[in-house]
Amino acid sequence: MFHRSSSAAGVRFLASIKEGRGLKPSARDAGIDKEVGYRWLREKYLELRRSGKSPADATAELGFTTSRLLAWEADVDRTDDRHHLRVDRDEEARFWASFTSGQSVRDGARKAGVARSMAYRWIEKRFAGLRLDGHTVRHCQTQLRLSEDQARMFEERRLKELRREASTARTAQHAATLSSERYADRVLVAEPTARQEWLRNRKEKYWQLMRDGLSNADACRLLGMNRASGTQLRQNTDFQIPRHTARRESAGRYLEARERLQIADLLRLGQSMRAIAAALGRQPSTISRELRRHRRDGGLYLPRTADHDAQLQRARPKVPKLVSNVPLRLLVQRKLNRYWSPDEICGWMKKDYPDDQTMRLSPETIYRALLLRDDYGLHKRFAVKLRTGRRIRKTRWRRRIGRGSRIINMTMIDKRPAEVEDRKQAGHWEGDLIVGLGSVSAMVTLRERTTQYGIIVNLPKNHTAASVNAAIIDAFATLPRHLKRTLTWDQGIEMAWHEALTQTTGVPVFFAERSSPWQRGANENFNGLARQYFPKAPTWHCTALSTLTSSSRSSTIDLGKHSATTLRPSGSTPNATPSGS
């Protein structure tokens, strides 16, 4: 049977050669004889040379070199695309010269010395070429001086030939898809040579002797091998003895080496991602992620390399990122020394290193490195740089404890309007009370969910429910009605008079679940920022604005942009305005 280089076997063979495999293994995997492979390589080389490429470029694109290149180069200028029974090109040129001068087909054929049927074959061939270039049937009919019946007959033949070629291509693609599984099995279970099997057995025996406690010299002496060979084996594993673990069977969740071979094979055959996914019984997104992760810069997908990389990526336990990446760890330590929060550090790195994925990490990575006992890359002395100052991570209890809240008639957060969640409507506030050292002083913090506008109100005398209500009423008094929609608070006893607050301001109060600070995330983040500038101290008092007096009027502080500080602990000296950090 005559195999063409455009067949599935030819595509597989040429792709395997381009990937760097030898002629014999590529021919064996494609199921052909090596002489057939030489014939396909010659066809591809001549095609590249005739397209204008130099011998060096053609050889590089082919990925193969041989002593037969000199003989192939002699055939570059030789054209053999004409059948041996066809007439010479000069006779065809005489016919076209006569036909384009206005003579009939009969006269042109007589002048060229050919039969009239041959002249019509030439005309039909040119008709197909013009149609391929995009010309209409009417234009071809006019240019070639055809009758309507002749033009219609030529067009029907052309369409029939196109349908036949399309059907042949579909049949070939279907056959190639069906044979892809057999091809992957043939490549995967390729039997090693006797030499390869001997080397593999010797390598296993060497590592077993090393596990038994022998030195490199003793192990090489027992196996009859040179010490340099043992040293080379140890260098390949970074002087670490590999663990003797049995290969685990795949549970079907991850792609296997056989499936990766099928993906590479079907890609060579021009299949789409959805067609590949259907052939493998996988989701198209799985194929898309596989190619996005393991394709090289030139778009080349190497299945064996991809399988090796995937196994390394799945290996556990992984080395923490702050341990393996020294520049990243030093940068995080420098920012922590400046009292930056983990969220600020991660956001800054994403902004300053937009194209460097090695300089990316999540805030949780920093918290785990600081607060967990294991060595995750950061020394525990940097934990005091956090705003909370804690050295360990507290357990978060989600169960209700005690007798419940002493606040009556609470409206819980699940009854809050749905428009509060999307943050598209301004006027929905979150509030809390932060208390100083010994509960001597306190401040009311309010933050709007959409604009992130913050208000801090000083409570210099006490923080009873009456004082908190008065402070919030005073803060909301200057706001327009459309900016006073809802208020979300925790279950602190300072909000015991919430019904009176709603009656005075018209703002309904909703209560978050116990021990659920994430339900008021905007306000909790605001409190953390406020604690950085107003740490716990015996008292807080007004230093910069006369509005923060015993009248308990509100003072607006945009901590998100770090504007001037208006409150400070007693006995402290005012500092310069912090820069954005």
Confidence (pLDDT) at 191: 61
Residue 542 pairs in a beta bridge with 567
pLDDT score, position 373: 63
Whole-angstrom distance, CA of residue 538 vs CA of residue 536: 7
Q: What CA–CA distances, in Å, run from 131 to 82, 96, 99?
A: 22, 18, 20
**173-186: per-residue pLDDT in tens?**
777 777 777 777 77
Predicted local distance difference test score (pLDDT) of residue 372: 77
pLDDT over 90 (residue 460)? no
Q: And the tokens for 573?
A: 């000296």
The one-letter code for the residue type at 124 is E
80 DSSP assignment: -
Q: Residue 560: what pLDDT? A: 39
Strands 509-511 and 428-435: unpaired
CA distance 521 to 501: 23
Contacts of 228 (CB under 8 A, 6+ apart): none
Mean pLDDT of the region 113-119: 88
**Separation of alpha carbons 235 and 5, rounded Å:** 43
| pLDDT at residue 544 tops 80 | no
3-state secondary structure of 258: helix
Q: What is the pLDDT of residues 228-266, one digit of tens each?
A: 999 999 888 888 888 765 555 555 788 988 899 889 888
**Of residues 479 and 373, which shows the higher confidence score?**
479
Q: How far is CA 343 from the centre of its chain?
A: 22
The per-residue pLDDT of the chain, averaged, comes to 82
Confidence of residue 82 (pLDDT cuts 50, 70, 90): low
What CATH code is assigned to 413-569?
3.30.420.10
Condensed to tens digits (0 to 9), the pLDDT of residues 285-331 reads: 999 999 999 988 778 888 888 888 888 888 777 788 888 889 999 99
How much is the pLDDT for 80?
Answer: 58
* pLDDT, tens digit (0-9, with 9 covering 90-100), for 545-568: 333 333 333 344 444 333 333 333
Question: Residue 394: what pLDDT?
Answer: 62
Reduced 3-state DSSP string for 111-162: HHCCCHHHHHHHHHHHHHHHHHCCCCHHHHHHHCCCCHHHHHHHHHHHHHHH
Averaged pLDDT for residues 512-537: 87
Average pLDDT, integer, range 124-149: 91
- The residue among 170 and 374 whose pLDDT is bigger is 170
Percent of the chain with pLDDT over 70: 84
Q: At what angle do helices 23-30 and 148-188 cross, to 10 degrees?
A: 110
Count the residues in the chain. Answer: 581
What confidence score (pLDDT) does residue 571 get?
33
Q: Which of 35-39, 210-214, 397-401 has the lowest mean pLDDT?
A: 397-401
**Quick one: average pLDDT of 348-359?**
91
Q: How far apart are CA 477 and CA 180, in angstroms?
A: 75
Contacts of 558 (CB under 8 A, 6+ apart): 453, 454
Which residue type sits at 237? T
pLDDT of residue 363 exceeding 50: yes
Phi, psi torsion values for 387, nearest 5 degrees? -65, -35
Q: What is the mean pLDDT of residues 108-135?
A: 90
What is d(CA 67, CA 303) in angstroms, rounded to the nearest whole number?
Answer: 30
Whether 155 has a pLDDT exceeding 90, the answer reads yes
CB 407 within 8 A of CB 361: no
Q: Please report the pLDDT score of residue 81 as a whole number.
A: 53
Tell me how crowded residue 73 is: count the other CB atoms within 10 A of its CB.
Answer: 14
- Span 53-65, mean pLDDT? 88
pLDDT exceeding 90 applies to what percent of the chain? 33
Which of 168-172, 329-333, 470-474 is predicted least confidently? 168-172
Element (H, E) at 141: helix 137-143
Task: For residue range 267-293, list pLDDT tens digits in order.
Answer: 888 888 998 998 888 999 999 999 999
Look at residue 297 in the predicted model and tell me its pLDDT: 76
pLDDT at 1: 46
pLDDT tens per residue across span 409-444 = 999 999 999 899 999 999 999 999 998 887 888 999
User: Is residue 400 over pLDDT 80?
Assistant: no
Asked if 322 and 376 count as a contact pair (C-beta separation under 8 A), the reply is yes
pLDDT band with cut points at 50, 70 and 90 for residue 76: confident
